[in-house]
């Protein structure tokens, strides 16, 4: 068993990067909470070194480092999101001297979430990496101002991926644990369910799928637990007439327009051949046969198509493959 320090970067006073897709300190804390509970569930010791009170950037950083260095740990993990020009995208992991681990974590997140892999980045200028006593990595969980990166955002999957990279242990999509509001349903590990746009004037965001649950502050664009007309949220699950918009946050169906995203579920996952000699296709055309692949060959799905009424996957390598369950499995 290992011992970790984990913290989310920035705080509500000195915020990090914000965009129309969310706020860095809110998103990094979602992953922080999920990561901590998953590591603890596996028996590891984890300290939360997040700072909520530092009122300047340097005070925030000093507080984080002081908390980190108060415990003897195997690794300090700092969680952030990148921002640049809206186009830049991908996951990267900054390190002071932990190159191999940084590269491993970055690749695992890229593989699991579908973010492009920017890899391990040596940074000797980052205060947290410089001043923590234990080995440390700083994970940039995609670009908060990039629609593609944020469209793939899935707290549960991200936390699972980090756990896998750190420990080799696989955890289920299950509970993020210890929810104060009860009724915790983690976002499904197979990705987004759709998007909703709020049509009501002001709609409560609640901690569970029912009006009996508390309002969930710290969620939504205004952080007061209320969604406002015109705001758009990614939906991860549906239960009892409520949509899950991430973590323990739920919005009732009655005051939103919902657009399902059934095809997005499999994008970024691997389609694996179950038989030898399975045909691939050079285009989205069942007659345009390409080379054959053997059992166990895995391709990354980039698009889900319906061709002549049958489901087909486009893959990262540019070739197409059947989605028929007799021939392939999606992982
Ligand atoms: Zn940051």
Distance from residue 322's CA to the centre of ligand 1 (Å): 41
Instruction: Return the closest-CA partner of residue 112 out of 91, 135, 87.
Output: 91
Each residue's pLDDT tens digit, 230-269:
888 878 778 888 998 877 789 999 999 887 765 546 788 8
Task: For domain 3-167, say whether CATH 3.40.50.1000 is its number.
Answer: no
Give, as residue ranges, everything with CB less than 5 Å from ion ligand 1: 9, 16, 80
Distance from residue 82's CA to the centre of ligand 1 (Å): 6
Q: Which fold has domain 194-260?
A: SH3 type barrels. (2.30.30)
| CA–CA gap between residue 203 and residue 223 (Å, rounded) | 13
Distance from residue 81's CA to the centre of ligand 1 (Å): 5
| Contacts of 215-220 spanning 24+ positions with Cβ under 8 A | 216/181, 216/248, 216/249, 216/250, 218/26, 219/26, 219/245, 219/246, 219/247, 219/249, 220/249
Each residue's pLDDT tens digit, 305-327:
777 657 789 999 899 998 887 78
Distance from residue 11's CA to the centre of ligand 1 (Å): 10
Distance from residue 176's CA to the centre of ligand 1 (Å): 23
State residue 181's pLDDT score. Answer: 29
Burial letters 20-39, b for 16+ CB under 10 A, else e: ebbbbbbbbbbbbbbbbbbb
State residue 96's pLDDT score. Answer: 95
Distance from residue 25's CA to the centre of ligand 1 (Å): 8
- Indicate the domain borders of the chain: 3-167, 194-260, 264-330
Which residues in the chain show pLDDT less than 70? 172-192, 222, 261-265, 308-309
pTM given for the model: 0.56
The reply to whether 264-330 shares the fold of 3-167 is no
Q: Which fold has domain 264-330?
A: SH3 type barrels. (2.30.30)
């Amino acid at each position: 068993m290992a011992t970790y320090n984990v913290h989310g970067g920035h705080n509500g006073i000195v915020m990090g990067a914000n965009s129309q897709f969310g706020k860095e300190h809110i998103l990094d804390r979602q992953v922080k909470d999920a990561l901590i509970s998953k590591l603890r569930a596996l028996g590891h010791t984890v300290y939360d070194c997040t700072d909520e009170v530092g009122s300047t950037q340097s005070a925030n950083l000093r507080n984080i480092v002081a908390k980190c260095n108060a415990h003897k740990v195997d690794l300090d993990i700092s969680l952030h999101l990148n921002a640049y020009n809206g186009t830049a995208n991908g996951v990267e992991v900054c390190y002071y001297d932990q190159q191999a681990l940084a590269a491993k974590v970055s690749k695992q997140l890229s593989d699991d979430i579908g973010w492009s892999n920017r890899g391990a980045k040596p940074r000797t200028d980052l205060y947290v990496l410089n001043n923590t006593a234990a080995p440390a990595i700083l994970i940039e969980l995609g670009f908060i101002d990039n629609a593609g990166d944020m469209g793939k955002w899935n707290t549960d999957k991200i936390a699972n991926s980090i756990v896998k990279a750190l420990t080799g242990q696989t955890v289920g999509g299950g509970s993020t644990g210890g929810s104060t509001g009860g009724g915790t349903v983690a976002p499904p590990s197979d990705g987004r369910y759709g998007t909703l746009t709020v049509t009501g004037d002001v709609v409560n965001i609640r901690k569970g799928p029912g009006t009996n649950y508390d309002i969930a502050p710290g969620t939504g664009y205004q952080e007061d637990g209320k969604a406002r007309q015109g705001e758009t949220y990614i939906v991860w699950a549906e239960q009892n007439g409520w949509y899950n918009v991430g973590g323990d946050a739920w919005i009732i169906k009655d005051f939103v327009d919902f657009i399902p995203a059934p095809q997005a579920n499999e994008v970024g996952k691997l389609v694996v051949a179950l038989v030898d000699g399975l045909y691939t296709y050079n285009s989205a055309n069942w007659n345009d046969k390409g080379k054959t692949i053997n059992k166990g060959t895995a391709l990354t799905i980039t698009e889900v198509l319906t061709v002549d009424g049958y489901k087909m996957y486009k893959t990262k390598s540019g070739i197409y493959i059947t989605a028929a369950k007799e021939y392939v499995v999606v992982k």
